[in-house]
Amino acid sequence: MAQRLHLVFGGELVDPTRTEFRDTANIHIVGIFPDYASAFSAWKAEAQRTVDSAHTRYFIAHLLRLRDEEMAASPTEELGN
C-alpha cells in the first residue's frame, strides 16, 4: 500500500476568515506524519495550544494531493487512485 503522508503547519493569518499568512517566514511546520490519525492528533494539539490567538490557524495538507498545477495529471491521478 502507498504511503499517504500528511503535513501539519500553521501560523498567524492576516484575517481569520481567509487563509493568507501574515508572514510566510514564520510559518510553523509541525511535521510530516505517516497517516491522517497522527496528523490530526498533532494538528489538534497545536490548535488547542494556540486557541487564545484568533488569527492563528493550523492546517493538514495531504502531500499525495499536492502537485505541480502546470504538469498534466496522469490518467491514474485523474481517476483518484
Q: What is the value of pTM for the model shown?
A: 0.76
pLDDT digits (tens, 9 = 90+) for 41-69: 999 999 999 999 999 999 999 987 776 56
Of 70 and 1, more confident: 70
Report helix, strand or coil for 6. strand
Q: What is the pLDDT of residue 7?
A: 96
- The whole-chain average pLDDT of the chain stands at 86
Q: What is the pLDDT of residue 65?
A: 75
Domains of the chain (ranges; CATH) run 6-79 (3.30.70.2400)
What would the grid cell of residue 43 be? 494538528
Question: Cβ neighbours of residue 19 under 8 Å, at least 6 residues apart?
Answer: 13, 57, 59
Return the H-helix or E-strand segment holding 38. helix 36-49
What would the grid cell of residue 77 be? 491521478
What is the signed CA dihedral for 58, 64, 66, 68, rounded to 10 degrees? 160
Which amino acid is residue 15, in one-letter code? D
